[in-house]
Structure formats: C-alpha cells, structure tokens
C-alpha cells in the first residue's frame, strides 16, 4: 500500500522538523544516491548497525562500482568481501539478485515496486526504503526501528513479529507516512528509532513525538513492543 498522510499532518510535520535539525544526512549511501547503492546499504543494514556497515559498504562500492560488476563476480569473491559482517545468506541473496538484474533488466535496477520486492533478500520494507529514498516514491517502511517507534506511540500490544501485530503496524506506517518528502520522512523514522526511541534507555525528552506518544504518557515504554513469548 502507498503512503496516505499529508506533509502537514501533525505526526509527519513533527518528524520532518526533527529530521531537518537532527537527522543523519551524511552517510556514504546518501551521497550521490543510486538505486544500486541504496539497495546495497539496505541489505547490509539488515540486523547490523550503521557504524559497522559503513566500511563494508565503501569496500563493496569500490570493488563492485555497479550492479553488473557485482553480478559478474564469483560468489566466493562476494562472500570474501562480506567476511565479518555476518548473516551470510544476505551476501548470497545480494549476488543472486544482482545476476537477476543483469539478466532480466539489462543491468538496470528496477523501479517498479513489485519487481524490486521480487528480488532475493528484499522484503516489503526494503523495497519501499529503496524506492522512496532514491525516487521519492510514496512507499512506507517498517524496519525494527520504525516498529518500535510506532508500537510505543500507538501503544500497540504484542510481539511485532506476530502477523496480526505486524499487519497493524503496517497499517499505521501507511497512515502516518506523507505522500511528499517520503525519503526524508522514512530516514527520519529510522533515525528516531536508532538515536532517540532506543530499545533501552530511550531519550523520550528529546523525541519529537512525545506529546502524543501513549507509552510516554503512561511511562511504560518498556512494554512496547512486547518481547517474543
């Protein structure tokens, strides 16, 4: 589903105002954005912190400057460069997806949501992150950071990996994501989750959403999202 909110809606307005002042804007994949570079960063960032990813991303881009170069490499070369980053299925999926783009799209990264989502290792949120970041297409995202922000703000009970809870969170992220400045909004939501609404010791006093955040109002942020039982 596409984003539904106005850029002037209170939630989006607060998030974007915070981003303009405090958001991360100088990460390597944010400079001279390309679909290939953002896709690479999004895959690397799955289950991995930004600071850890940066040197790996820079080495990958230097070694494989475009998706065809990555596709033409051997899997062993790709895995060797990935060594130390963990979750090696990501590297294998990355290589497989690059070969699909080379073979089916003439080396041009697709710009259609369904085609991006169909690539190995790319889920719904990753597809939305890529297309919104580079092309400002109005797709919401729902990574771990965004799940936490929304679960606390709306006091969504239950483990966020449970299908019913995840569907509820998807409906909420669609509801609050604006149709304009989507790239900035999505980056802001990830940044707020990473820098302010952290898993432990959140900095609620600095959060742009604290006025209407139900977990903040009820001083029970630790309940959301619930742990897997």
Q: Are 123 and 183 in contact (CB under 8 A)?
A: no
Give the pair of three-digit tokens for residue 41: 């960063």
| β partners of residue 178 | 5
Look at the alpha carbons of 110, 115, 120, 123 in this order and tell me if their dihedral is positive or negative: positive
User: Which of 42, 77, 114, 166 does the annotation list as catalytic?
Assistant: 42
Q: Is 166 a catalytic residue?
A: no
Whether the upstream peptide bond of residue 225 has omega within 30° of 0, thus cis, is: yes
What Å distances lie between residue 68 and 10, 55, 103, 185, CA to CA?
43, 21, 9, 31
Catalytic residue numbers? 42
């Amino acid at each position: 589903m596409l984003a539904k909110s106005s850029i002037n809606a209170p939630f989006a307005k607060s998030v974007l105002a915070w981003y303009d002042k405090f958001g991360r804007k100088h990460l390597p994949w944010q400079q001279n954005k390309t679909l290939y570079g953002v896709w690479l960063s999004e895959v690397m960032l799955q289950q991995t912190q930004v600071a850890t990813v940066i040197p790996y991303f820079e080495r990958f881009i230097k070694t494989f400057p475009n998706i065809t170069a990555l596709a033409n490499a051997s899997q062993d070369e790709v895995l060797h460069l990935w060594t130390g980053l963990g979750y090696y299925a990501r590297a294998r999926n990355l290589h497989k997806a690059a070969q699909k783009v080379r073979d089916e799209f003439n080396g041009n990264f697709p710009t259609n949501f369904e085609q991006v989502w169909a690539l190995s290792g790319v889920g719904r949120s990753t597809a939305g992150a890529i297309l919104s970041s580079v092309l400002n297409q109005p797709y919401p995202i729902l990574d771990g950071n965004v799940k936490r922000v929304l679960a606390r703000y709306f006091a969504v009970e239950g483990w966020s990996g449970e299908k019913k809870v995840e569907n509820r969170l998807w409906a909420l992220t669609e509801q609050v994501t604006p149709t304009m400045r989507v790239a900035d909004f999505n980056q802001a939501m990830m940044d707020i989750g990473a820098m302010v609404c952290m898993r432990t010791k959140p900095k609620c006093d600095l959060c742009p959403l604290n006025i209407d955040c139900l977990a903040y109002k009820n001083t029970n942020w630790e309940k959301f999202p619930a742990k897997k039982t």
